[in-house]
Structure 1
Amino acid sequence: MVGLQPTGSSTRLAAQVKAQHLGGVIYLGGWSGGTASMARISARLQKGGGGSLLIAADQEGGQVQQLKGPGFSQMPSARAQSDKGTKAEEANVREWSQELAKAGVTINLAPVADTVPTSIGAANQPIGRYRRDFVPGSAKGNATYVAAFVRGSLAADVIPTVKHFPGLGRVTGNTDLTTVGTTDSTTDVGDPYLQPFEAGIEAGAPVVMVSSARYPKLDAENRAMFSSKVIDGLLRDDLGYDGVVITDDVGAAKAVQGVPVGDRATRFIAAGGDIVLTADADQAATMLKAIARKRAASATFATQVDTAAARVLDLKADSGLLTCD
């Protein structure tokens, strides 16, 4: 999945999607043209993808709403959404998701399932600062709203994505901007802060996004998205999740800048992941070559690639984006 900015060319990217057989595009950078404009762009991209493209947006609410303009509601922050109750949340998310569907968006990279301790609050740069958590300090409260968001999105036939597993609430640094303060030394197997992720999965979320922070109690060596202990171990084995796993951005994010571009893709797939998301579409060629090269050299990795591809194809089939004979 590659990024498209408002200043980018959707015609050029559609050609790249077709030539490289890319699986998805994410709208980044803030778009203000409204649903009709976005629908035309989405249709252009879908033509390049043969109608099976995952077209994504970060449409959480508050300061994280990538698509605006005529036809899009002004979404309140998650913190404000929780003031209305879970029934209203589910109904509102269904309405907001219907707007995405009209714009040709098939997958929303929301909701946030991270719980920020009240002792950290706004000092948590990725979540707390922007009020992206539903209920401060309450994993149980966040769990109820994550589940409601998932149900509302599914009701509108838009794929929800629970993020950022296993949680960004206890860090202070934003992994998009820095490596400092991006280690969570508390989260472990059985941690109560995993409850919102479990609730989202139980509500039917078919996609989980893994963070690029470090969790030494889970894996002392690797960031979460490169950790088989986090993805295959905690998420798939312990939580019983069998759906699609996507990275947080591995293109522009500072947290992964020390990792060669090709390795960002191969290490994630080797850890049990499925969709590599890069904000920089120019990186796709390098990543694809690295995947193909390692696939040819390792039977184990070849199986992991095939398994990942099958999960994504199943997701697309279940979402009506392709048919299988």
Structure 2
Amino acid sequence: MAVVLAGCSSTPAPAPALPPVSTTASPPVSTTASPPVSTITTTTPPPPPSCAEQTLAGLDPAHRAAQLLMVGVPADNPTAGRTLVTAAVVGGVFLRGRSARPVTEIGSDVAALQAAAAAAGTLPLQVSADQEGGQVQTLSGPGMPAIPSGLRQGRLDPATLAAQTTAWSTALRQAGVTLNLAPVADVVPAGTGAANPPIGAVDRQYGSTPDVVASAVSTVVTASRAAGVGTTLKHFPGLGRVTVNTDTGTGAVDPATTVDDAALGPFSAGIAAGTTAVMISSARYPALDPRNLAVFSRAVVTDLLRDRLGFGGLVVTDDVGQAVAVQAVPVGDRAVRFVAAGGDVVLTVRSSDAAPMTAALVATAAADPVFAAQVDAAVTRVLQAKVDAGLLSCG
């Protein structure tokens, strides 16, 4: 190595001594890979299937479709529906009409109907009735306390309303009813009752402001559920502003209701209180869906009720058997269009509707996997409601 030194001297300086080179061999570098660091991974096993899911798995397509039907049987003689529940294997019955027979006698008949279903190997029935009060109450015989109109109930203090609700809900349970098609959550604006034939004209509403109605709805839902009877909020998203009764005419339209309407407050309150079901009206709400009746509207049933309001329970039709508002739609299509919108239970007062509705649901599900999945989801909700009501259990 040459080293050049800067300076004036011409005599080179001696080179510095280098350190001796070691002749000892370096230890070899290992080429063996280091053992991997132990990583513990855990996988959470999926939860076991619920009772509702287990039951669903054992149902064929026809039985699944039939679980989505709630069909009318005479309130004064429920055992007249024996063939309906053993042959059509419907999921529920509706005590249609009126009865002044003792509550205990109605209960015996309903028990016989449940026994007939069990003997035929079908699932227990969800049994419903219209027991609002005033002019709308299915049962009024001995053992059933007198029930004032909705408007009078709304004027009671919460403690009194809760006590009265407990009394008539207990009587309903004795009659074998597991689901009351009440309370009415519709708001009828002050001074408009006479022009509102389905609700205000017969005092079915609790009041004329959302706050009053919401308070009464919460009280009734809570007390009824505590007495062992499920509740149904109706008629979503509200019939308080229409001027036509959907049972008797067409053209029921509410142009005012929007997704953030204050009149939806009572429905939200009832959902928060734990209602079993919500009933969909057969009116039209152009600000929500300009094309479809609410009962056939995905915008109303799924987007608004399920997604925006967060309701995961049963969604039920108003009567789609005799109601004039839906007569333009073929019987089977009424069931299909409702389930496609996100609904669960198709209510009809006519027992003759069971066969065409079941057939239409089965055929559509067989042709459309998306619809088949909607049917399964709806049936699961129906079965879960039966579990919650103590009707269905799994070992």
TM-score (norm 2): 0.80
Tell me what 1:189 maps to.
259
Contact 1:4 1:10 in 2 (8 A): yes
Query: Quick one: structure 1 residues 317 and 6, their matched pair in 2 at CA, closer, same or farther if it must change by over 3 Å?
Result: closer
Pair 1:104-2:173 in alignment = no
Tell me what 1:130 maps to.
202
Task: Give the one of 187, 196, 214 matched to 1:143.
Answer: 214
Tell me what 1:164 maps to.
235
Q: Distance in 1 between matches of 2:137 and 2:355?
A: 29
SS class of match (2:155): helix
Tell me what 2:360 maps to.
290
Contact 1:212 1:256 in 2 (8 A): yes
Contact 1:111 1:163 in 2 (8 A): yes
- Which moves more between the two structures, 9-18 or 251-260? 9-18
* 1:246 partner amino acid: V
Instruction: Measure how far apart 1:34 and its partner are.
Output: 1.6
Q: Distance in 2 between matches of 1:240 and 1:268?
A: 19
Tell me what 2:81 maps to.
13
SS class of match (2:356): helix
Contact 1:22 1:49 in 2 (8 A): no
Instruction: Measure how far apart 1:6 and its partner are.
Output: 4.6
Query: Quick one: structure 1 residues 154 and 10, their matched pair in 2 at CA, closer, same or farther if it must change by over 3 Å?
Result: closer
Q: Distance in 2 between matches of 1:60 and 1:11?
A: 23
Tell me what 1:54 maps to.
126
> Tell me, which stretches of 5 or more residues in structure 2 are unaligned?
1-69
Instruction: Measure how far apart 1:11 and its partner are.
Output: 3.7
Q: Distance in 2 between matches of 1:15 and 1:123?
A: 42
Tell me what 1:4 maps to.
73
Task: Give the one of 286, 307, 329 matched to 1:237.
Answer: 307
Paired residues in the alignment total: 322
Q: Deviations over 1:85-113 (max 9, x none)?
A: 11211111011100000111111000000
Q: Deviations over 1:212-250 (max 9, x none)?
A: 000000001110110010011000010011111000000
Q: Distance in 1 between matches of 2:170 and 2:209?
A: 29
Query: Quick one: structure 1 residues 75 and 233, their matched pair in 2 at CA, closer, same or farther if it must change by over 3 Å?
Result: same
Q: Distance in 1 between matches of 2:200 and 2:357?
A: 33
Task: Give the one of 128, 139, 142 matched to 1:70.
Answer: 142
Task: Give the one of 77, 83, 93 matched to 1:25.
Answer: 93
Q: Distance in 1 between matches of 2:212 and 2:175?
A: 31
Instruction: Measure how far apart 1:12 and its partner are.
Output: 4.3
* 1:156 partner amino acid: A
Pair 1:116-2:185 in alignment = no
Pair 1:300-2:370 in alignment = yes
- Which moves more between the two structures, 12-21 or 281-290? 12-21
Contact 1:59 1:66 in 2 (8 A): yes
Instruction: Measure how far apart 1:83 and its partner are.
Output: 2.2
Larger radius of gyration: 2
Tell me what 2:12 maps to.
none
Task: Give the one of 45, 56, 63 matched to 2:113.
Answer: 45
Pair 1:153-2:221 in alignment = no
Q: Deviations over 1:278-314 (max 9, x none)?
A: 0101110010000001010000000000000000101
Pair 1:92-2:160 in alignment = no
* 1:22 partner amino acid: V
TM-score (norm 1): 0.97
Tell me what 1:216 maps to.
286
Q: Distance in 2 between matches of 1:123 and 1:324?
A: 50
Q: Distance in 2 between matches of 1:34 and 1:300?
A: 47
* 1:13 partner amino acid: G
> Tell me, which stretches of 5 or more residues in structure 1 are unaligned?
none
Instruction: Measure how far apart 1:45 and its partner are.
Output: 1.6
Contact 2:78 2:95 in 1 (8 A): no
Instruction: Measure how far apart 1:119 and its partner are.
Output: 4.0
Q: Deviations over 1:129-171 (max 9, x none)?
A: 1101111x20111000000000110010100111100000010
- Which moves more between the two structures, 184-193 or 76-85? 76-85
Q: Distance in 2 between matches of 1:152 and 1:185?
A: 34
Question: Aligned ranges for residues 272-287 of structure 1 at < 5 Å?
Answer: 272-287=342-357
Would you tell me which structure has more helix in proportion to its own residues? 1
- Which moves more between the two structures, 265-274 or 77-86? 77-86
Q: Distance in 1 between matches of 2:256 and 2:95?
A: 33
Query: Quick one: structure 1 residues 117 and 54, their matched pair in 2 at CA, closer, same or farther if it must change by over 3 Å?
Result: same
* 2:379 partner amino acid: A
Contact 1:14 1:47 in 2 (8 A): no
Q: CA RMSD of the aligned region, Å?
A: 1.2
Poorly superposed stretches of 4+, deviation over 6 Å? none
Instruction: Measure how far apart 1:253 and its partner are.
Output: 0.3
